[in-house]
């Protein structure tokens, strides 16, 4: 092997490549800051604030799947013009509300026809008419939902703790 230093030639030290740019230390991340799922510290903090979940044109009479803070939700606008953001499963038998039919006052499940308003309250249960009287009392069954509003261009979503909404994901 040739000894460059002894020969009087200039020696340029070369750092061994460790897989990072210019020998800088490997990047790190703090998971408690980066994770926003339900139940994580940052996720619970973020759920206290309004988030843009789409443009006004995204909330239409055709239900749309959106993912907000790692949660899959259904965004729609009832025929009265109110935006709704609900969890994707019907409170009755869990059918997907993505296939629901948007009506004047909410979204109707495609399976047995229960109608939920934008706050998740059961308005109609055609096959069991007495059920709606029981289930719309505060604290009883509904679907989980998020507050949703149009403001400054986007449609915004926010966690809500409506007394009508049962937390079905727990």
In the complex, the residues that contact ligand FES under the rule CB under 6 A are 90, 92-93, 95, 109, 111-114
148-162: burial string, b at 16+ Cβ within 10 Å, e else: beeeeebbbbbbbeb
Cβ proximity to ligand FES: between 69 and 165 the closer is 165
Contacts with 109 (C-beta within 8 Å, 6 or more apart), sequence order: 90, 92, 95, 97, 100, 115, 116
Give the nearer residue to ligand FES in terms of CB position, either 36 or 110: 110
Beta carbon of residue 115, minimum distance to ligand FES (angstroms, whole number): 9
Least CB distance to ligand FES at residue 117 (A):
14
Beta carbon of residue 83, minimum distance to ligand FES (angstroms, whole number):
21
Least spacing, CB of residue 34 vs ligand FES, in Å: 36
Nearest residue to 148 (alpha-carbon basis) of 91, 100, 94, 83: 83
Instruction: Please check whether residue 84 is in contact with residue 118, taking contact to mean a CB–CB distance below 8 angstroms.
Output: yes
Nearer to ligand FES, 101 or 112 (CB): 112
């Amino acid at each position: 092997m040739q000894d460059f230093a002894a020969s009087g030639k200039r020696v340029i030290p070369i750092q061994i490549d460790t897989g990072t740019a210019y020998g800088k230390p490997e990047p790190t991340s703090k998971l408690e800051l980066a994770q926003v799922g339900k139940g994580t510290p940052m996720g619970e903090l973020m759920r206290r604030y309004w988030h843009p979940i789409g443009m006004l044109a995204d909330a239409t009479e055709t239900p749309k799947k959106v993912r907000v803070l790692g949660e899959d939700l259904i965004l729609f606008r009832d025929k009265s013009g109110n935006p709704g953001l609900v969890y994707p499963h019907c409170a009755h038998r869990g059918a997907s509300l993505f296939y629901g039919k948007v009506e004047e006052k909410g979204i109707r499940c495609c399976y047995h026809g229960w109608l939920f308003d934008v706050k998740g309250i059961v308005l109609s249960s055609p096959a069991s008419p007495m059920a709606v009287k029981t289930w719309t009392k505060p604290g009883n069954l509904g679907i989980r939902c998020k507050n949703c509003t149009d403001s400054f261009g986007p449609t915004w979503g926010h966690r809500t703790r409506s007394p009508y909404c049962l937390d079905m994901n727990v």
